[in-house]
Structure 1
Amino acid sequence: MDKSEFESRYFDLVSKAPGKTFLFYGNLKEDMIRWSASAVEYFGLPGEIFGDSTREWISRIHPEDVEPYTDSLMELLHGVTPYHNCEYRIKNAQGEYVWVNCRGYMTYDADGKAEWFGGLVTNMGYQTKIDAVTNLWTVHQFRSELNRLLDDRARGGILMIGLENFKRINAEYSYAYGDKVLALIGEKLREGVLHNCHVFRMDGANFAIVMQDAGVERIVEYKKFVDSFMRNLVVSGQVVHLRFKAAAAFFPEDGEFLDQIQSNLFYALDHAKLTNTDDVVFYSKELFAQKKYMTRLKEAIRECVEEDCKGFRIVMQPIVETKSEVCDAAEVLLRFIHPEFGVIGPMDFIPILENSKEIIRVGKWVIDQSLQTLARWREQIGHLPLKRLQINVSYVQFKDPELLGYVVERLDHYQLPHDAVMLELTESCRVEQTSFLSDVLQTFKDAGISIALDDFGTGYASLTVLKDIPADMVKLDHTMTRSITEKPKDKALIEFIVTYCKKVGIAVCAEGVEKVEALSIVRNAGVECIQGYYYDKPLELDTFYRKYVK
């Protein structure tokens, strides 16, 4: 018996073991997958071996769970991690959604491209009541307990704790260390519960505390307890810095049925993350009205994207070279107007585009529109009017393996030099995955496309990032430049950043310059270019053409 026959027989034998665990393995390059016979029967799959497997599987996943599944899949494809561990709902052969846990491992070829992927899918309805990592009750016990309380006409509150960026712990240390962190948090949460309270490990890095007869005061008090131990979390002698968001709902006030309460609870947690508040977000009717508004807005934006980005347009803000005070570049900014909702600001529609992954399609539209405009202006005046256009690109876009090829193809299509575009990393680019970003960005630089770090000095951007990310420019955040006349520390920090960047060959652009006093300080600090209302606001294309091109 040769090795391939042995492996095939082993797969056949293991896949026939009793229980609701289903085996799979497949070749990502060919998009072919093999499932155990029991999986074919349970999920109603086309067969044990079939192609177009990724699309086939995603089509069965619950719409609310597609995003976390595809996020995990993209991390596998780009080599961020070879491990896959994701919980989601998927339709079985009877058309019912069931909760499953999917665990797998990815292998890569000599060029680092994803090749083979294998693992198992477990129907979580058949799992034990206790989470093996934290020794807490599972999400299924949460649902069972809440159903019991509703049937008994009990009253109370539920506090949801959602850890932020927990993937960073797994990526920087290991999954085993991450499990230790979760176990310690579970132990601490149990220490704080009183009579008639239960702690549950929910999906991923979320926890729920069900408190009978609890009101607002008791929930806020418990959240303060969580604050206290999270500030001093030490695992295996290592201090762990973790942020979390908190949300709460009451039963039966916030839902007569289990799914309604659970959905409202998760929506409140999403709102806490979206608004970046450190307070407990309590579900309310106002929040529900906002949820309805956001649901309709998301659908409206999706429809506009499908109609070739209808309602979107680009504007440009001049970037002025410091010494000559000549506009030699521009930042491309996106605007959106809708017949039902009116003008929607970027702070509202950009997160929606990123969360839905529609930013990938819209981002390509922005790149095409920008380069098309630059080529048209060159034809009108006989030469390139600007050295470069600077275009914002989010982390979601950089995870798209087609982005580099698209940018290069569009540049060549419009016969523009590759240095005519500079891509700006937006705030959504996460520092815990700088190794992935570094590799991706280097491929852009190798193609002659320059890179800028936006919002430098705040959020994800710090000097330590420059060690890992191959940047050609940093753009000082507008909050720093606007405060330098009142805050000597900000002035000193800007001077330090400029000095450091000059030593390592990185240009510096000051954003948000509005007053002559700020202009004088950043010029004396030695920045190469300046952007802000002191020179001009973002302009419609025809206005920009008249003022800075023609």
Structure 2
Amino acid sequence: MDKVALLTKVFEAFASSTKGRYVFMTDMETNISRWSKSCVEEFGLPSERMENAGEIWEEHIHPMDKSRYHQSIVDLFEGKSESHDMVYRARNKNGEYVACTCKGTVIRDDDGKHLYFAGTIDNHGIASEYDSVTALYTKDKLLDTLADLKDERQRYYILFVGMYNFGELNNVYGYEFGNKILRTFAEKLLEFTDDAEVYHAGGTKFALVSTQLNLSEIKEIYSEIVDYCRNSIAVEGVNVTITLGGSCTEVMNFNIDEHTVYSNGILGLDESMKDRHGELCVFGSSNLDKSHERLVLLNALRNSISRDCEGFSIVYQPVVSAQEERLWGAEALVRWQKNPFGRVSPSEFIGWLEDDPLFYDLGLWIARNSMKYWKEKVLSVRPELSLSINVSYTQLERKNFRRDLLEILKELDYPPENLRVELTERCSVLDKNFIRNEIIFLRSQGILTFIDDFGTGFSALELLLFLPVAGIKIDKSFVDGIDEDEKKRIVARAIIECASNIGLKTTIEGVETGDIREILLGFGASHLQGYHYSKPLSIDDFTSHPLFKE
């Protein structure tokens, strides 16, 4: 057997020896390589035999790791190094980055001439500290970094950047294309600075953390990111325009934990998106008191949740049938009150709290307690009345959500037909096929689902045809001033008629006055809700209300 045939036999023996371990061998004179078939299939490489395989493989290396990889290969071929041993992220055929360990060595002949570069690549799969879509560090890794900086008492800036038209992009282009947008955006973020670590902070949010940059440099980076997105991002030949919001926090208070810092940034991001048209919200030395006050508040809220939701309470706002104006049920709403803060409006904390790990616990507490008191105080007297609870995207996407909700129903012996789930507007960031499957599951258990805040995050009319919901709740923004705005009356009537014609129920919230009630009664809605009928009530006040006693 000649040497070439022997090498081929040896290569094939090693190449088939271990799953997830790939073998490669490169002729350093011709730069022609042989790679394991399993590696070629996993990463979508051209073939088992390749010329300039190093350059081809480099295109699969994550941008943050590419320069290290490139230099290592150059050193090998220039004789500056005899071995290659490094961990990097490589993109597989599905576009996911997986963690790999590559070990190789140079084989010489008796005269010291380079003959082959041979080695192995171990595929560790999707690493827990890296996000599989963007290949950036994950939110958990971000929180670990913030905790380390706190322990080191290291001052730093954290810049949050978020997309607030992403639900529309998902609706237009689809979930998979949406992931490609996130991946392209993430790779671009890495190019803006070498003085900050970049993280995928969950959903469509990203974070940059730096101990080196100053505030003016942070602002400049944010401005460049906004300009880049405004001029459209090219993804597979399609140009998409992304609308951004941003918040920046200077952290110098080392008594505040990492979750509170994160939540403060998310709250600022929400403010930037909703109230400032994407202008960067800055919390630091110039408004230190405000920033500190907010951080302290967020910390107190998180502590309350950790203490079995101490300070939180449930109120119930009546919902009436539109035709008879008789009580149909109620929506469960959460309130929080604690010294020295007093009563804090949900609008001041729900937006950022949705992204906090503890929000899931709060959501389960709301579901359990609202149903518990509803069953004890309401269904025992009026068994036909239904209760609506809100479910956010961070709850719905949790793998234990189905199990936990069913366990609460079983634990309380609560009738599922008396429960209505309202999906909040931010559920629009989820894959619509995933949402559809969750709705079908809930329906199979006897639970009806409504789209909350229709006209905002869930604005795509095609979703009404795709998602098997029982109805929609029209956002209050369509009702405010409807008695003085003809356009709003036209839009509200059109939405209600459209929903009715395809068999969906409609609830209109924000019915605050008698004039608004008179207008809406003629539109054909199914249910009405608002201060004209009642403010949100404690369970005892609810059962004492005239509507309940009719």
Q: TM-score, normalised by structure 1?
A: 0.63
2:497: which partner in 1? 499
* Counterpart contact for 1:90–1:98, Cα < 8 Å: no
1:103: which partner in 2? none
1-side partners of 2:408 and 2:181: how far apart? 45
Distance change (3 Å), C-alpha of 1:461 and 1:320:
same
Structure 1 position 331, deviation (Å): 0.6
2:17: which partner in 1? 6
Structure 1 position 293, deviation (Å): 2.9
2:161: which partner in 1? 162
Which of 86, 105, 121 is equivalent to 2:136? 86
What letter is aligned with 1:10? Answer: R
Distance change (3 Å), C-alpha of 1:36 and 1:510:
same
2:270: which partner in 1? 274
2-side partners of 1:316 and 1:274: how far apart? 26
Q: Secondary structure at the match of 1:19?
A: strand
1:346: which partner in 2? 346
Q: Secondary structure at the match of 1:530?
A: strand
Which of 73, 76, 85 is equivalent to 1:18? 85
1-side partners of 2:353 and 2:181: how far apart? 33
Equivalent runs, 1:370-409 vs 2, <5 Å: 370-377=370-377, 380-381=380-381, 383-384=382-383, 386-409=384-407
Structure 1 position 431, deviation (Å): 4.0
Question: Aligned pair 1:299/2:310, yes or no?
Answer: no
RMSD value, Cα: 5.1
* Counterpart contact for 1:89–1:98, Cα < 8 Å: no
Distance change (3 Å), C-alpha of 1:546 and 1:203:
closer
2:467: which partner in 1? 469
Structure 1 position 413, deviation (Å): 3.8
* Counterpart contact for 1:336–1:344, Cα < 8 Å: yes
* Counterpart contact for 1:268–1:283, Cα < 8 Å: no
Structure 1 position 454, deviation (Å): 1.1
Structure 1 position 476, deviation (Å): 1.1
- Over alpha carbons, which structure has the higher Rg? 2
Distance change (3 Å), C-alpha of 1:370 and 1:287:
same
Q: Secondary structure at the match of 1:372?
A: helix
1-side partners of 2:518 and 2:474: how far apart? 15
* Counterpart contact for 1:170–1:178, Cα < 8 Å: no
1:425: which partner in 2? 423
Q: Which ranges of structure 1 fall in alignment gaps of 5 or more residues?
A: 24-33, 39-53, 62-68, 73-81, 100-157, 190-196, 257-262
Distance change (3 Å), C-alpha of 1:409 and 1:37:
same
* Counterpart contact for 2:284–2:291, Cα < 8 Å: no
Identity over the aligned pairs, expressed in percent?
Answer: 21
Q: Secondary structure at the match of 1:162?
A: strand
* Counterpart contact for 1:450–1:472, Cα < 8 Å: yes
Q: Secondary structure at the match of 2:279?
A: coil
* Counterpart contact for 1:247–1:268, Cα < 8 Å: no
Question: Aligned pair 1:460/2:488, yes or no?
Answer: no
Structure 1 position 174, deviation (Å): 6.8
Distance change (3 Å), C-alpha of 1:373 and 1:208:
closer
1:106: which partner in 2? none
Q: Deviations over 1:368-391 (max 9, x none)?
A: 21222222125753x51x421001
Structure 1 position 423, deviation (Å): 0.6
2:240: which partner in 1? 240
Q: Secondary structure at the match of 2:349?
A: helix
What letter is aligned with 1:292? Answer: H
1-side partners of 2:240 and 2:440: how far apart? 31
What letter is aligned with 1:494? Answer: A
1:444: which partner in 2? 442
Structure 1 position 176, deviation (Å): 5.8
Q: Secondary structure at the match of 2:399?
A: coil
* Counterpart contact for 1:377–1:549, Cα < 8 Å: no
Question: Aligned pair 1:358/2:358, yes or no?
Answer: yes
Distance change (3 Å), C-alpha of 1:488 and 1:185:
farther
Equivalent runs, 1:498-517 vs 2, <5 Å: 498-517=496-515
Q: Deviations over 1:22-70 (max 9, x none)?
A: 99xxxxxxxxxx99899xxxxxxxxxxxxxxx9xx98xx8xxxxxxx7x
Q: TM-score, normalised by structure 2?
A: 0.63
1-side partners of 2:20 and 2:213: how far apart? 53
Q: Deviations over 1:94-121 (max 9, x none)?
A: xx9799xxxxxxxxxxxxxxxxxxxxxx
1-side partners of 2:333 and 2:158: how far apart? 39
Distance change (3 Å), C-alpha of 1:361 and 1:232:
closer
Distance change (3 Å), C-alpha of 1:529 and 1:175:
closer
Equivalent runs, 1:60-459 vs 2, <5 Å: 83=133, 85-87=135-137, 162-164=161-163, 171-173=175-177, 202-204=198-200, 223=223, 226-227=226-227, 230-233=230-233, 235=235, 237-246=237-246, 270=266, 272-275=268-271, 276=273, 277=276, 278-377=278-377, 380-381=380-381, 383-384=382-383, 386-431=384-429, 433-459=431-457
Structure 1 position 9, deviation (Å): 8.6
2-side partners of 1:179 and 1:84: how far apart? 4
1:46: which partner in 2? none
Structure 1 position 18, deviation (Å): 1.4
Q: Deviations over 1:202-258 (max 9, x none)?
A: 445668999999979x96899399548715555554230201234579xxxx799xx
Distance change (3 Å), C-alpha of 1:255 and 1:323:
closer
Structure 1 position 351, deviation (Å): 3.2
Structure 1 position 348, deviation (Å): 2.3
* Counterpart contact for 2:451–2:458, Cα < 8 Å: no
What letter is aligned with 2:177? Answer: Y
Q: Secondary structure at the match of 1:318?
A: strand
* Counterpart contact for 1:161–1:207, Cα < 8 Å: yes
Structure 1 position 325, deviation (Å): 1.1
Q: Deviations over 1:108-159 (max 9, x none)?
A: xxxxxxxxxxxxxxxxxxxxxxxxxxxxxxxxxxxxxxxxxxxxxxxxxx99
Q: Secondary structure at the match of 2:337?
A: strand
What letter is aligned with 2:504? Answer: I
